Structures are given as structure tokens and as C-alpha cells.
Structure 1
């Protein structure tokens, strides 16, 4: 996988190395730290590299029940280490499915099972406000057009000022950056699903493909085409 430059995104990132450690750091002048499994809190700046490695790299919304449970169990507001033995145990089925050439649907099922095992069965103590969850669902169905704070606040039944404050309190991110992050996810979903990148950009309300690429580089540290596995990448030793 190509190295990811310094970036931040509104997602929890779970990263597990299938065939060796992976590396993260929080700023360009910091030393690289090695992990067999790592959990990165949402909106946390970080760099990532795993040259020549096979990696399970999962990003998911912090407002979901599994996201809340994982943050409660592992997150310290930084890059949290998943113990190596635990990372290997919970990822064994996903690794085997990948090696066997499983379909995307099968891989997604194994990834979901991995997250559930890692989160545990206990419910998180802090429940997201149902008004914000309602708005998040509404936003996901209206990404192809402009989204105004006033209309989303109306969905929640709140004034703009109260909605703006509650949205930040519940999600940890301001409304506009959240919309941009959600648009990026939709465009990537479409692009990797076979839609042309130009069409994917327009379907998520980006002005053009270049706008999508710039946003992807800023939020994920990579351009979309760099997210595919590079089987010719040179092997580089990474100390555990």
C-alpha cells in the first residue's frame, strides 16, 4: 500500500497488518512507531506507511454503536495500540478470506465480524443524540445536491445555533467538514464500484474530478488510485 501523507479524517481507522507491522506517526518530524494493530481516533492528524505489506485498513463512522464501543475500549485520543495477539486473533478469518480470493461482500462480512469481536458485547455508555443520528441519515440521502445548515437543522427540529453546537458536541466535527467528509466517502464508494471518477465526483456534488482528488489527498493522504494494492511495491524492513 502506498504511504499516506499527513492527513486527518472524520472516521475511526482500524489498521491490522496481515504479514508484518505497520507504522504510524502524528507529525512529520516525529519518529515512526510500529504496530501489529492500531486504532486511530477520528479527526486525529497522522501519517501511515506499510511498504510491501498486506493490510486490513477499515474506516467507519464514530457515531455508530461499534464505533462508540471501540473508542470507549481502546481510544486514548491518540493512536492506540491493539495488542498483537488480539489483532492476529480477530483478523484471522478476514486474512484467510482475502488469501482465498473471497468476494467483496464476503470480505465486508468478515470485516464486520472482526469489528464486532474487537468492540466486545458491552454497549457503550454514551449514546449519540437521536436527533443527530436522524440528521446523519438524512444527509446520506441528499449528497447529490447542496446541503445547508438551516435545512438540516430543521430536520432535527432545532435552531441553527443550537444544531451547530449539538452537532459538534455529538460528532466531534463541525457541520461543513462533516459534509465534505461524507461526500468524499460517497464518491470513493462510487468510484471503486465502477463509476467513472468524473461521474462519482459529480454524484457527490464535487465541482469536478480535480476537486475530488484534492479533497481525497487532504483527508486521506492519498489520491484515489493509490488506494489499490501495489503488488510491485518494494519490500522495506519495519522493526516491530
Structure 2
């Protein structure tokens, strides 16, 4: 387990877990600011229906909602919900998307929700999903997959250019393929990976400065700004909440 803690910050109260290609949060949700993730978002209510506004401010409500990667949205407050952020290149993301609609924000087929005990242990919450069931969509460009493998452990500066060379593509071509197949700019996916590595380092007890270095950030302030933007909490807040 990379990072599991209890949060009571900015009207959020709950617990979260960071895995290899996904992050899950369970508890009270109070994010009412428009934002976009470099990940697909699955939101499941553990009470009344949840609501999310899309970028045109249309409100979609349901027991479970899916937001495509890179799409601007606003999550309405919920007393108890589960939020799962999933990297768009993963088998898990393609599987979840196969149960959702084509809109940026769409309702999720109840058959997916029934496969998971959403009150269970966070670290193994998604283990019950049958990822081999049905058509989860075509595989991604093999050159893109090679580049993503390279970028998973790469430092931020010059990483995309180096990844393009490693898979035999020009940088503009790699960026174009990534945008089409991931649904988000490759630079945002790279920042997600950097933040994930920093979170792993924090869970191992490093200082915030060391965690920033592990992720490839310029300094602790850079990590703090980035993590706050894409996860909603700063590194210091997460550490303090777990004490």
C-alpha cells in the first residue's frame, strides 16, 4: 500500500489509497470547483444519488457517474461517496469506460457497480472486477505504450523528448497519438506520474523535500502546488491528517 490516511480537510473527511494506476478516496466529498484530471474518474454514491456538472454546467445525477479523462467538471457535495481516479491507458480504465456512456460525464451501468463491495478494504477494493469479461476496447498504439513505460519513471525535464526517441517517433507525433488515445495531453499524464512517485516516497517516510526529488519536481513548493491542484490536498496536509 502506497499511501493510506484519514483526511478532514476543506470539508472533506475520509480515507484514500494510491495504487499503481489508480487512486481511490472514500468519504465525504465537497469539491465544488471546476477542474479536470489526467485520469478517468469513477464516482459511486454510498447514499443518495450524486451529481456532477459538466463543462457546459449541465447537471448529471445518478448512483454512479463516470467522467472522461481531461474533461472539466464540478463534483457536487456528497455525504458519502467513493471516487476512483484511473490512468486512461490502463485496462481498468477501458473496462470502466465500457460500462459508461459517450458523454464527458455519464451514468454508469449498475452491472459494474454490483461487482464491487464499495465498503471493503481500499487497497483491494477493485480486485473483484472481472477485467477479462466482455470487450474492453482496442489496445493502444504499441509505440505509445513503450513511451508510457519509459515515462513512468522518467524525470520531468526533457522526458517527453527522450520518450519519443526511445519509441522511434518525433515528439509532436508522440504528443498527438497520446492526446488522441489518452484523452489528455501527455504532459499532464507525466505530471500525474511524478506526483504518484512523490506520494510513494512520502508513504515510505521521506521528507517532503526528498519526496519532491523522487518525483522529479524542482523543489518542495513545486510538489505542493502540483499535488494540491490534481489531488485536492497538499503533501503537508495529507501527512498532518494521518498523524
Which residue pairs with 2:177 in the alignment? 166
Tell me whether 1:39 sits opposite 2:81 in the alignment: no
87, 97, 100: which is aligned to 1:61? 87
For the 8 Å contact 2:96–2:112, the answer to whether it is kept is no
Tell me whether 1:71 sits opposite 2:97 in the alignment: yes
Which residue pairs with 1:81 in the alignment? 107
Tell me whether 1:217 sits opposite 2:228 in the alignment: yes
**Counterpart-to-counterpart distance in 2, 1:31 and 1:150:** 38
SS of corresponding position for 2:175:
helix
How far the C-alpha of 1:13 sits from its partner, in A, is 1.1
SS of corresponding position for 1:56:
strand
**Counterpart-to-counterpart distance in 2, 1:175 and 1:122:** 28
1:196-227, Cα deviation, whole Å (9 max, x unpaired): 33322221111223222222333344445667
How far the C-alpha of 1:120 sits from its partner, in A, is 6.8
Which residue pairs with 1:109 in the alignment? 124
How many residues align structurally?
Answer: 212
Report the structure, 1 or 2, having the larger helix content.
Answer: 1
TM-score relative to the length of structure 2: 0.73
State the superposition RMSD in angstroms.
Answer: 2.9
Which residue pairs with 2:7 in the alignment? none
For the 8 Å contact 2:99–2:112, the answer to whether it is kept is no
TM-score relative to the length of structure 1: 0.73
109, 112, 136: which is aligned to 1:124? 136
Which residue pairs with 2:193 in the alignment? 182
1:72-122, Cα deviation, whole Å (9 max, x unpaired): 331423111125x5465233x341x34xxxxxxxx3223232xx24x6711
Which residue pairs with 1:102 in the alignment? none
Tell me whether 1:201 sits opposite 2:212 in the alignment: yes
SS of corresponding position for 1:125:
coil
Higher RCO (CA-CA < 8 Å; seq separation 6+): 1
For the 8 Å contact 1:191–1:200, the answer to whether it is kept is yes
SS of corresponding position for 2:127:
helix
**Counterpart-to-counterpart distance in 1, 2:61 and 2:137:** 31
135, 139, 147: which is aligned to 1:135? 147
**Counterpart-to-counterpart distance in 1, 2:233 and 2:46:** 21
How far the C-alpha of 1:42 sits from its partner, in A, is 0.3
**Counterpart-to-counterpart distance in 1, 2:135 and 2:187:** 30
Which is worse superposed, 189-198 or 12-21? 189-198
Which residue pairs with 2:21 in the alignment? none
Which is worse superposed, 172-181 or 9-18? 172-181
The runs of 5 or more residues in structure 1 that have no matched partner are 99-106, 231-240
Report the structure, 1 or 2, having the larger strand content.
Answer: 2
